[in-house]
Amino acid sequence: MFKALGDNTRYAIFLELARREHPVTTGELSEALELHANTVRPHLDRMREVGLVDVEVESRGSVGRPQHRWSLAADAPSLGLEPSGFRILSTLLAGVAAAGHPEADLVAAVGRQRGRVAADEQAPYHSSCVDGLLAELSDLGFDPASVADGPTTSVAFTRCPFADLAAAFPNVVCNLHRGMVEGFVERWGGAEVDHFATLEDRDPCRVELAVG
């Protein structure tokens, strides 16, 4: 997916689709980007092949080319470009969750479910738990940096894609993230989470792994 986005035209198409609330036609994309439709079509086809975009085909009967409407695929990387409605909804949902003052471990348990799924998704591509976790954190936008010191590996999250939400609702957002990491490591094996530091710690946003 990310290799496909390395092309300037495809990246421009991705940005344009990310800002649209509804699927758009090839012609609408071409007009917005000031490109000929014949230039845009092969890029859209390539993006569909790698799972970046979805297409809906509307038949016009027996006359004329079928109408194609394009949108970002549900599992395409967000790159922080979600429609504004998603950001508003996530803020409201985090606020509702925080209002119930849930136990930290209860919140983390929800994150663990996602972590286990992520471990299964990364397993075919990586040989170790640490490598797989780094890949998953990178995909989520955390820009992880790891340092190994004997049997301990420290992974710092140099960027948080949920920074605004985490600052407002750390008990919810940070513990969801903690649960995701714990679930990932538990599912993969070969390591254990020694310590997970959140925004409430003096030296925040990192996880200490005991590897062995």
Domain boundaries, the chain: 4-72, 84-211
Same fold yes or no, 4-72 and 84-211: no
Report residue 111 as tokens: 């994150």
The whole-number pLDDT of residue 204 equals 87
The ranges of the chain with pLDDT < 50 are none
Amino acid at 48: R
Distance CA 192, CA 25 (A): 49
Domain 4-72: CATH architecture, name and number where available? Orthogonal Bundle (1.10)
Asked: is 84-211 a CATH 3.40.50 domain? The reply is: no
| Unique residue bearing structure tokens 């062995």 | 212
pLDDT for position 86: 65
pLDDT > 90 in the chain, percent: 58
Quote the pLDDT of residue 84.
Answer: 57
